[in-house]
Amino acid sequence: MNKKTKIYFGPPLAILTENEKNTLEISGKINRTAERYLEIMRRHSVELTDPERQCLLKVCEAGYLASYEIVELADDVRDGKFAIDGLDTAALIAKLKAASFAGLVAIVEDLGY
């Protein structure tokens, strides 16, 4: 068990926990959601080659990606001008287009964004 910590309840957490009545219910809701999220990340991970990872790191280097930006990763790769040895841009675009939203989120999370 981790020690207690204060967290900021931005709009997503406020919406997630709006029906919970007390601290224990709020904590439970957040922990259940986190557990399920981690399982989604595990089940929907997408295999990337090293050149593909390097390309996506360049695409994502601006930082935080909103949901609408995550679904546009294939377009960003297509529009980008990346000189990365061993990168098959067409294969990466196809992989991104075939991925579910959960798969795209798993990619972005794995890259640290």
- Residue 8 has which token pair? 């900021």
- Residue 18 has which token pair? 């709006």
Say whether pLDDT at 81 is over 90.
no
Q: How many CB atoms lie within 10 A of CB 93?
A: 16
CA distance 8 to 20: 17
CA distance 40 to 104: 11
Q: What is the pTM of this model?
A: 0.83
CA distance 58 to 72: 14
Tens digits of per-residue pLDDT, 17-67?
999 999 999 999 999 999 999 999 999 999 999 999 999 999 998 888 999
Instruction: Tell me which amino acid residue 1 is.
Output: M
